Amino acid sequence: MSLMGANFRRDLEIRQYPVLVYVLVPLVALVLQAWLPRVVRGYVWFDLPLVVTIYFALGRRSPIQGTMMGMFMGLFEDALSQHAIGVNGIAKTVCGFLAASVGVRIDVENYTIRLIMNFVLSLLASVIYVFVSRVLLGLDQEWRGLTELMKAVGNSVIALVLFPLLDRLQVRE
């Protein structure tokens, strides 16, 4: 009975977006992530692809779609770097899956929950990135706690501004 209730609630709250939004928003996020570091001059305390991944995972409430979105964004970021392709992919895949899984059970309209979700998942993505780099690849990837903390805060702040803007793009029946 409870399962049916959860599915019913989930079906009601699944957000729909135009197809163009699914293509353009991630692409714009990736382009801005690649271009903005030239403007902010080293203070790269944000991860726009991760924020967009979390947003669509929370909105769609489908773990599979969240997983796919995270994988796509992460692999794309890896392709722009000199590292092996898959490090960011694994991190954002897990984040997309968790965001969608949690989004089924909580009220994603709440700003505090959005803030906490972005903060926690940003830190988790950084932890997974360093773990994969050090353990699976054997690289000398150091953990920079302060930088990762600032990045998590930056992602949360960006999510507070960006999520309401993206909410306007959803299809309302």
Partner 1 sequence: MESFFVRYRNFLVLLAILLAQIVGLAVQVHRTDSGRNTDARDGTGVRLIRMWAEALVSPPERLIHSSKTGVGGLWGNYIDLRHVREQNQELQKTIDRLRLEQAELIEDAKQGQRLQAMLNFQEKYIYKTVAAQAIGTSGSDQSKVFFIDKGSADGLDRDMAVISADGIVGKVRDVFPHTAQVLAVNDQTSGAGVILETTRIRGILRGNANGQLEMVDILQDQRIKPGEKVLTAGGDMIFPRGLPVGVVEKVVPDPDRDSFIDVMITPAAHLDRLDEVLVITSTLPRLSPQQQQDVATSEAEKGAEAAAIHDQQVKEQQKASAIMAERLPGLMDPNLPPDKQPLLDSSNPDPVTRPAQALRPDRFTPLPKSAGGATDGKPETETGTSDAAKPAVPKAAAPKTTVPKPAAPKPTEPKATAPKATAPNQGDGSPTGRNQ
Contact 152, 122 (CB under 8 A): yes
Site mask for partner 1 (CB under 8 A), range 10-49, x = bound: -----------------x--xx-xxxxxxx-xx-x----x
Least CB distance to partner 1 at residue 86 (A): 4
Measured in degrees and rounded to the nearest 5, phi and psi for residue 161 equal -85, -40
Pairwise CA distance, residues 14 & 56, whole Å: 10
DSSP state for residue 106 in the 8-state scheme: S
Q: Which is nearer to partner 1, 24 or 116 (CB)?
A: 24
With contact defined as beta carbons under 8 Å apart, do 47 and 148 qualify? no
Interatomic CA distance for residues 6 and 13, integer angstroms: 11
Residues 46-75 within binding reach of partner 1 (CB under 8 A): 49, 63-64, 67-68, 71, 75
Residues of this chain that bind partner 1 (CB under 8 A): 27, 30-31, 33-39, 41-42, 44, 49, 63-64, 67-68, 71, 75-77, 79-90, 93-94, 97, 101, 129, 132, 136-142, 144, 147
